[in-house]
Amino acid sequence: MRRRLLVLVGATTSLVLVAFLVPLALLLRSVAADRAVLAATAEAQTLSALVATADRAELALAVAQVDATSPSALTVHLPDGGVLGTPSPRTPLVELATLGTSASGDVDGGREIVFAVRDAAGATGVIRTFVPDAALTAGVGRSWLLLAGLGLGLLAISLVVADRLARTLVRAGEDLASVSHRLAAGDLDARADPAGPGELGVVAVALNGLAGRITELLREERETVADLAHRVRTPLTALRLDAEALRDPAEAERLSAGVEAVQAAVTRAIEQARRRGPEPARSCDAAAAVRERVAFWAVLAEDTDRALTVAIADGPLPVPLPRADLEAAVDALLGNVFAHTPDGTPFSVTLRGGGTVELVVADDGPGLPDPAAADRGASRAGSTGLGLDIARRAAEAAGGALLLDSAGQAAGSGRDAAGTWRGLRVTLRMARAAV
């Protein structure tokens, strides 16, 4: 933008200067030529009286004096054919003047001016003066240089002023862009300078208003989420008391552990809702986190007669994701298996290491008609439809992606009567964190 403004101002100023300076330069040349011609004419006219009255010796002396001090070449053609002053041929203009007509004209090398003069006897003599091109253009070159310097100076001043104005506009635009990027990065305290030039100041005020509104909406959202999460604590407390009242210690311990896990998830939800800005980057051992969550869900798998196959690579397998987020993603994927497949459906959990870390959860359930069409909030089983989105966001936060395909298709088996591939395989791919 700054460069374009400078080009625009430079082009406009150049056009104005050309339109002004070129005619002025031509006028200066014309004035210089007229001045030289007038000076030569005046010198020649001073000899007119001498040609008519003075004798030859006095006339020769006067012509020599004038010719010596004049930049023009002065010649007097006497009626008897004699020539005084600078020798010159009898040009057509001289011949015309002998007939009694004074004239002037441009010739090679300059301008020729002739005057017809009658002597005392009535014979016609001719005073010829020749003004060379050097005299006609004397001082023109220096004047043109001054005009060129003036034009360049005016152009430089206009560019400096335009650069200052452009810098102000560009700085205001860059400030708006910087504030926009800071807001996009989660810095809700970023504000633009409303004192910017013209319409940019109006945009800055509007951007500040938008930032304030975003801050207010996020605050309301955080408070709503925190309030809802806090309300869940009351029934969780009742569940904990019921679990502790069970007579079977093992069953009581299992249910208490589940309630504690839910309680921890609620606490994390409250903390995350009240935290401003993105969570600081942390890493965890995927092998340890997945192994712990699989052990938790293995008990429920046994109660529902589901065959569980576990293949977890030896750790550590560090991934750039907080452990709480990874555990939430694992719980979402395993919870989907129990929520959307009938009891007795086998499933498997595989964790592989290497250049990337991949968690694969596959089941032999009914699958999805189109695994690629699983969107956030979309569910065909009466749930919230957020489980896969939680896993997807965790994968993207860890520099990877969430992949869905049919486990039956991958295994080479066919479709069921409804045309749906049997089973579903979900792959949570994550980048490997530096140790």
Helix (H, G, I), strand (E, B) or coil at 366: coil
Distance CA 152, CA 144 (A): 12
Query: 385: helix, coil or strand?
Result: coil
Q: Do 334 and 293 form a contact (C-beta atoms < 8 A)?
A: yes
Structure tokens given for 39:
């000076």
**How does strand 124-132 pair with strand 103-107?**
unpaired
The residues with which 85 forms a beta bridge, in sequence order, are 75
What percentage of residues in the chain have a pLDDT greater than 90?
A: 9
Indicate if the pLDDT at residue 280 is higher than 70.
no
Three-class SS of residue 344? Answer: coil
Task: State mean pLDDT over 121-130.
Answer: 81
State residue 346's pLDDT score. 92
Give yes or no for residue 120 having a pLDDT over 90. no
Mean pLDDT for 202-213 is: 87
Please state the φ and ψ torsions of residue 284, each to the nearest 5 degrees: -150, 170
In the CATH scheme, what architecture does the domain 186-278 have? Orthogonal Bundle (1.10)
Q: The dihedral of CA 399, 401, 402, 408: what is its sign?
A: negative
279 and 322 Cβ atoms separated by less than 8 Å: yes
CA distance 292 to 278: 26
When pLDDT is cut at 50, 70 and 90, the band that residue 274 belongs to is low
Phi, psi values for residue 428, rounded to 5°: -100, 105
Kindly report whether the peptide bond that precedes residue 316 is cis, defined as omega within 30 degrees of 0. yes
How, if at all, do strands 73-77 and 103-107 pair? unpaired
- Pairing, β 124-132 against β 110-118: antiparallel
Q: Which one is predicted more confidently, 407 or 103?
A: 103
| Percent of the chain clearing pLDDT 70 (strictly above) | 82
CATH level 3 topology of 54-135: Beta-Lactamase (3.30.450)
Yes or no: say if 104 and 155 are a contact pair by the CB < 8 Å rule: no
Please name which of 198, 162, 146, 165 lies closest in space to residue 12, comparing C-alpha atoms: 162
DSSP helix, strand, coil percent of the chain (3-state; round to 5): 55, 15, 25
DSSP string, 247-265: S-HHHHHHHHHHHHHHHHH
Cα distance between residue 348 and residue 4, in whole Å: 62
pLDDT at 410: 44
Q: How many CB atoms lie within 10 A of CB 23?
A: 10
Count CA within 13 A, CB hemisphere, residue 110.
Answer: 18
pTM above 0.75, yes or no: no
Q: Judge contact between 431 and 356, C-beta under 8 A.
A: yes
Query: Which range has highest mean pLDDT (105-114, 160-169, 417-426)?
Result: 105-114
Mean pLDDT of the chain: 80
Q: How far is residue 122's CA from residue 50's CA, in Å, rounded to a whole number?
A: 14
Model confidence over 379-412: pLDDT tens digits? 444 444 567 888 898 899 888 999 888 655 444 4
What digits encode the pLDDT tens for the residues 63-83? 888 878 888 888 888 877 788
pLDDT (tens digit per residue) in 9-27 = 888 888 888 888 899 989 9
- The band of 429, judged by pLDDT with boundaries at 50, 70 and 90, is very high
Task: Give pLDDT, residue 414.
Answer: 43
Q: For residues 404 and 388, is the Cβ–Cβ distance under 8 A?
A: yes
Q: What is the pLDDT of residue 378?
A: 46
* Domain 281-431, CATH: 3.30.565.10
- Alpha-carbon distance 74 to 55, whole Å? 18
Q: In which band, very low, low, confident or very high, does the pLDDT at 202 lie, cut at 50, 70 and 90?
A: confident
Residue 197 is given by DSSP the state S
Which range, of 40-54, 120-134, 260-274, averages the lowest pLDDT? 260-274
CA distances from 285 to 353, 388, 434 (A): 11, 22, 11
The DSSP annotation for 148-184 comes to HHHHHHHHHHHHHHHHHHHHHHHHHHHHHHHHHHHHH
Q: Is the pLDDT of residue 359 over 90?
A: yes
Give the model's pLDDT for residue 56.
Answer: 76
Q: Regarding predicted confidence, which is higher, 376 or 137?
A: 137
Query: Which pLDDT value is given to residue 382?
Result: 45
Calculate the dihedral angle through the C-alpha atoms of 324, 327, 329, 333, rounding to the nearest 10 degrees.
-160
- Whole-number pLDDT of residue 373: 47
Q: Is the pLDDT of residue 413 over 50?
A: no
| Range name among 375-379, 393-397, 422-426 with the lowest pLDDT average | 375-379
Lookup result for tokens 């003004």 = 131
Query: Does residue 422 carry a pLDDT above 70?
Result: no
pLDDT in tens, 327-354: 888 888 988 888 888 888 899 999 998 8
pLDDT of residue 350: 93
If one compares 141 and 197, the residue with the highest pLDDT of the two is 141
Q: Is the pLDDT at 298 greater than 50, yes or no?
A: yes
Q: What is the largest CA-CA distance in the chain?
A: 161
Q: Flag the least confident range among 140-144, 204-208, 413-417.
A: 413-417
Amino acid identity, position 55: D
Domain map (residue ranges) of the chain: 1-46+139-184, 54-135, 186-278, 281-431
For the residues 175-194, what does the mean pLDDT come to? 84
Residue given tokens 């606490």 in the structure block:
267
- Helix residue spans in 185-285 (DSSP H): 198-244, 249-274
What six digits make up the tokens of 59? 């006339």
The stretch 147-161 carries a mean pLDDT of 90
pLDDT of residue 231: 67
Are 52 and 118 in contact, with CB atoms under 8 Å apart?
yes
